[in-house]
Amino acid sequence: MQETALIKDLSPKQQKAAEAYASRAKRATLAAIKERMPHLADNSINAAEHIGGGLVGWGAELGTRAIIDKLAQPNEKGEVGTVGKYKDYVKGGVSLVLGGVGVLVNAGLSGSTEGSMPRRVAMQASATQLLFGADRLLTKALGFPQ
């Protein structure tokens, strides 16, 4: 409150200079904190990337399941096709392929993923879908209950 009163006592040119100085000081302080304590910023960013990527991967998995369930339905004659007979294997295989393609494409792109939050989220989503696919295939192949 006292700072506001002090700024109001300055001329418009001095007020502008004081505000610019305060802005530079704020940026310099935040940069120093990030440099000395990067874990403060990185933990929240990393958590957001993992949660966001996991949710995107889970959503893609749910979409995959819904599409395959629709394709697995019997036709008008009541016959079940190949997708219907091997529904769990198809779900696992499609999820595994989609996740693997996402990981390979992301790894094959030029540049680092360190500076790209969308790429890190996409990598997390691909890894999540890979895990869902592997889980689905292994659960079915080993005869574990679902």
Domain ranges of the chain: 1-36, 39-142
What's the pLDDT band for 55 if we cut at 50, 70, 90? Answer: very high
81 or 34, higher pLDDT: 81
What's the pLDDT band for 1 if we cut at 50, 70, 90? Answer: very low
Beta carbons of 96 and 130 less than 8 angstroms apart: yes
- Tens-place pLDDT, residues 80-109: 888 889 998 999 999 999 999 998 988 888
Locate 32 and state its tokens.
């120093």
What's the pLDDT band for 41 if we cut at 50, 70, 90? Answer: low
Q: Computed from CA positions of residues 22, 24, 26, 32, in that sequence, does the dihedral angle turn out positive or negative?
A: negative
Torsion, Cα of 23, 25, 31, 32 (10° steps): -170
Examine the pLDDT at 127 and tell me if it is beyond 80. Answer: yes
Q: What integer pLDDT is reported at residue 66 of this predicted model?
A: 93
73-80 long-range contacts (CB < 8 A, ≥24 apart) are none
Q: What integer pLDDT is reported at residue 56 of this predicted model?
A: 93
| Pairwise CA distance, residues 72 & 83, whole Å | 5
Beta carbons of 53 and 124 less than 8 angstroms apart: yes
| Pairwise CA distance, residues 101 & 143, whole Å | 27
Examine the pLDDT at 19 and tell me if it is beyond 80. Answer: yes
Q: What integer pLDDT is reported at residue 34 of this predicted model?
A: 73
- Angle, helix 117-142 to helix 38-71, in steps of 10 degrees: 50
Global pTM reads 0.64
